[in-house]
Amino acid sequence: MQDTSMVRNVAIVGHGNCGKTSLAEALLFSAGKIKRLGKVDEGHAVMDYEDEEISRNISINASFHNYTWKKHDVFLTDTPGDDNFLNETKFATHVCDSALFVIGAVLGVKGQTIKFANLLKARNLPTAIVINKLDRERANFENTLSQIKELLPVRPVVLQLPIGEEEKFRGYVDIATRKAYLFDGDKGGVKEIEIPAELTDQVDSYREILMENVAETDDELIEKFLEEMELSEEELLSGLKNAVKNAELAPVCVCAATLNMGTASILDFINTYMPSPADKPPITASAVDSEELVEIHPSVDEPFSALVFKTMADPYAGRLTIFRVYSGQLTGDTFYNASKKTTERFGQLYVLEGKEQKPVDTAGPGMIVAVAKLKETSTCDTLCDQNRPVILDAPEPLKPVISFAVSAQKGDEEKVFGSITKMLDQQQTKQVLISGVGKVHLDVVGSRIKRKFGVEMELSIPKIPYMETIRKSARVQGKHKKQSGGRGQFGDCWIEISPLPGGGYEFEDQIVGGVIPQQYRPAVDKGIQEAMEKGVLAGYPVIDV
């Protein structure tokens, strides 16, 4: 049975070009999960495997991997740093228990950095800040730290002080333990040395700041600190661990991911300081068909529950449904989809390793796993034990901000439109529209459709769906006369039309005494709606009357 306390579920978050994917590659390499250190620039990173990611040298999808380090099972999620793919990051951080917030030591804090910091704060996600690229020209630890303090809604505390910068970056000092290390070998390892004399004063200053910040997060520690102006190393480390788990402090670590410098210490940091699913408080779910709230505890002994947060196409496995397990264990070949109120069968359970899938027999709390070829299940659905049907809280996708009309080359219409069915919206313009977060987002969608389905879609500026309405009330009279022998037919009907801002269309029957028989009245309503299809000004649909 899985030991939930030994599981970690970590998202890697940060602005574009800060080295998130390089850090993920270095962590996997240092942990012995992959045999060579993947390079994003050279197109062989295991976490960036889509053709569009390789050609653009950016992450487009959230990608997943896992490793074992000192008996801990760690699930990594590498997220995009481009605004066009912010939905990927939002959904990934919703299901992760902690985050490594990567900031480049050259570029420092950017607009995207602030956006991601607010996202992490809204989730109250335990976070460590990783200042990366300290080996690069113009890298500056102090300037980057100053920007973090001034611009981000986090409370950073320096845990690792770099030894050297730019080409002289060669190690770090652990502020909590007052031990210095030089990087040793290409596996991210270190060897202990004496603290360099020129850093002694800085180490003392940062340690005092660390101690004070940790003490402020705990009533007992603050009392001792105020009395003795000192905490023992054990108290400091224990207090820091609790402060990180409660998202009160964000320790600052250092590395140069492309050179695999500092990554082994980050592996240790994740094991020691990041919370396991068992450390997290229970989450609240809604019982199906009632207003009752249900507490979901992160235990293997609880009934199974999981949230689908991503659906993707795989060239070999087909449609992959990716979900995070919150409670219980998934061991069989069926589960209940509480969102769709249906039972789904699946063939094999997988953990994701970049573009590969590794079969597993069970999945427990904290694990991110996938199954293939589900018919009914979609993103944001809750999977659970049918004996305890619940709905888990799911993230709201960002609203699209840009739309284009989609057309296809002659003969390819069915293929193109079938491949983007879930993104279509048929407007009054009779054009098919595709919407996204930005132009790059839609360009990537078009590239994928061409690569996976062999057809091209063309984007153009959509026509404006003009509407017409009236400015003030008016009354009109209609008469019907027909004489064909006998008594003949005669009808007299008045219609009053008035503005109804934002109300769409409303038909009111004010006939008294049956002067117009009931069977004729729906025809009047229908006639009005038919007339509204083409307005009198320019032939556009009429609304709000």
Which segments of the chain belong to CATH 3.40.50.300?
4-202+248-278
pLDDT on residue 56: 65
The domain defined by 4-202+248-278 carries CATH number 1.10.287.3510? no
Average pLDDT over residues 29-46: 83
Highest averaged pLDDT of the listed ranges 158-172, 391-405, 473-487: 158-172
Cβ 494 vs Cβ 516: under 8 Å: no
Tell me the pLDDT tens digit for each residue of 47-83: 766 666 556 666 677 899 999 999 999 999 999 887 7
pLDDT on residue 514: 72
Q: How far apart (Å, rounded) are the C-alpha atoms in residues 54 and 355?
A: 13
Tell me the pLDDT tens digit for each residue of 143-167: 999 999 999 999 999 999 999 999 9
Q: Is the pLDDT of residue 318 over 60?
A: yes
Looking at every residue in the chain, the average pLDDT score rounds to: 87
29, burial (CB in 10 Å: exposed 0-12, middle 13-18, buried 19+): buried
Is the pTM here over 0.95, yes or no?
no
Architecture of the CATH domain 283-391: Beta Barrel (2.40)
Q: Look at the domain 402-460 and name its fold.
A: Alpha-Beta Plaits (3.30.70)
Out of 35-49, 72-86, 111-125, 356-370, least confident range: 35-49
* Residue 352 CB contacts under 8 Å (≥ 6 apart), including other chains: 63, 64, 65, 66, 322, 358, 368, 369, 370
Which segments of the chain belong to CATH 2.40.30.10?
283-391
Provide φ and ψ at 306, rounded to 5°: -155, 155
Tell me the pLDDT tens digit for each residue of 489-535: 777 888 899 998 988 888 888 877 777 788 878 888 888 899 888 88
Which segments of the chain belong to CATH 3.30.70.870?
402-460
Out of 96-100, 172-176, 297-301, 455-459, least confident range: 455-459
Q: In the chain, what percentage of residues exceed pLDDT 90? A: 58
Architecture of the CATH domain 474-531: 2-Layer Sandwich (3.30)
Which segments of the chain belong to CATH 3.30.230.10?
474-531
Task: Please report which helix (H) or strand (E) contains residue 144, including its range.
Answer: helix 141-151
Length of the chain: 545
